Amino acid sequence: MKIAVFSAQPYDRQFLEAANAAEGHELHYFEMALGLESVALAAGFQAVCIFVNDVADANVLEALRGGGTGLVALRCTGFNNVDLAAAKRLGVKVVRVVDYSPYSVAEHAVALLLALNRKIHRAYNRTRDSNFALDGLMGFDFHGKTAGVVGTGKIGRVFARIMLGFGCEVIGYDPYRSADFEALGARYAAPGEIGANADIVSLHCPLTPENHHIVNAETLARMKRGALLVNTSRGGLLDTDAAIQSLKSGHLGGLALDVYEQEGGVFFRDLSSTVVTDDVLQRLISFPNVIVTGHQAFFTREAIGTICETTLRSVSEFARKAPLSNEIRMT
């Protein structure tokens, strides 16, 4: 089947080509993201393969359908960038990679937290300048502290297990409770308790219209003073302006972001020779107690390998008109 791969990076090509040895599709790579201005490139392709910052809204889906595309294959877990209602109306199938490596994302969240708490990013710069002073680098023991997990699905549970290993008390919030989470030795708590008691809060829920800016000025104010917040889920969960205000007031102790609400057009690109015009992102990066990574939590060999294999297997199912194991259906 002919597949148009958007937002294609060198590593996507490498792993997709390897996975395609078993599937035999015809892959065409486009560096640019899918959107209204680029959708014409997909004309004549039965399937498009997209990533987190490609846009498959109603207009784009209509254009895709008009060009003969019947399948949108997301090579990621989250699907907030696809208008599922429009896809259903147009008869366009949407598949994603439900499960690749929850370890990749959970481990990155923990890496960010450890770096943020022990100021590894600052120590790294200091020692390169032969500055071995410790002033300003003090952190706290994770042991004995409370870690709050928002979203206790696959990634949230791996995160919880790691934090329990540090000797943290782990409390979680999820509208759909999981016995597996409690079996780890963690417990469920109301959002208010997480805010009030957690020294560390990690977001692991999908972005939906209902939880946009779930962390906002009000929830930040209710958080424990000095707490650390990490978001490896989706940028839209956090009101970034409110987080900046909280950091400026000294209430929020530190912020680690792998995702950012305006990341489209910035992340996954080398902008080191240009002037970045996003003042909010620049302000964030300027804080000593903020670490930003460019949506790399998923970026392990194991995860990319599984993502590419699963994606192409889904396209093969579609080509055979077989049931789609990874189809996203509207609930």
Q: If binding means CB under 6 A, how many residues of this protein chain bind ligand NAD?
A: 28
Which of 181, 318 has the CB closer to ligand NAD?
Answer: 181
Catalytic residue among 23, 107, 263, 317: 263
107 is catalytic: no
| Tokens of residue 219, six digits | 């929830």
Which of 7, 53, 77, 117 touches ligand NAD by CB under 6 A?
A: 77
With contact defined as beta carbons under 8 Å apart, do 12 and 75 qualify? yes
- Cα 325 to Cα 22, 47, 256, 275, 331: the distances in Å are 18, 16, 34, 44, 16
153 binds ligand NAD (CB under 6 A): yes
Tokens 């390897």, located at residue: 18
Give the number of other CB atoms < 10 A from CB of residue 113: 25
* DSSP-derived 3-state class of residue 56: strand
Residue 130 CA to residue 202 CA, distance in Å, equals 34
263 is annotated as an active-site residue: yes
Give the integer Cα–Cα distance in Å for 74 and 52.
8
Q: How many CA atoms lie within 13 A of 260 on its CB side?
A: 28
Give the nearer residue to ligand NAD in terms of CB position, either 155 or 186: 155
User: At 154, which helix (H) or strand (E)?
Assistant: helix 154-165
The candidate with the shortest Cα–Cα distance to 309, out of 49, 120, 103, is 49
When asked if residue 295 is in the footprint of ligand NAD (CB under 6 A), the reply is: yes
Among 10, 175, 209, 323, binds ligand NAD (CB under 6 A): 175
Binders of ligand NAD in range 245-274 (CB under 6 A): 258-259
- Nearest 5°: the CA angle 29, 72, 109 is 80
The CA-atom distances, in angstroms, between 191 and each of 77, 160, 241 are: 24, 16, 21
Q: Which is nearer to ligand NAD, 272 or 331 (CB)?
A: 331
Minimal distance in Å, beta carbon 208 to ligand NAD?
6
Q: Which residue is nearest to ligand NAD (CB)?
A: 153
The CB-of-271 to ligand NAD minimum distance in angstroms stands at 19
- Exactly one of 96, 295, 309, 313 is catalytic; name it: 295
Cα–Cα distance measured from residue 107 to residue 298, given in angstroms and rounded to the nearest whole number: 9
The active-site residue, picked from 75, 96, 204, 234, is 234
197-226 footprint of ligand NAD as x/- string (CB under 6 A): -------xxx----x--x------------
By beta-carbon proximity to ligand NAD, the closer residue of 39 and 297 is 297
Residue among 6 and 79 whose Cβ is closer to ligand NAD: 79
The reply to whether 96 sits near ligand NAD by the rule CB under 6 A is no
Number of H helices, E strands in the chain: 12, 12
**Shortest Å distance, C-beta 174 to ligand NAD:** 4
CA–CA gap between residue 48 and residue 5 (Å, rounded): 6
295 noted as active-site residue: yes
The catalytic residue positions are: 234, 263, 295
Where on the chain is the footprint of ligand NAD (CB under 6 A)? 77-78, 102, 105, 150-156, 173-176, 204-206, 211, 214, 232-234, 258-259, 295, 297-298
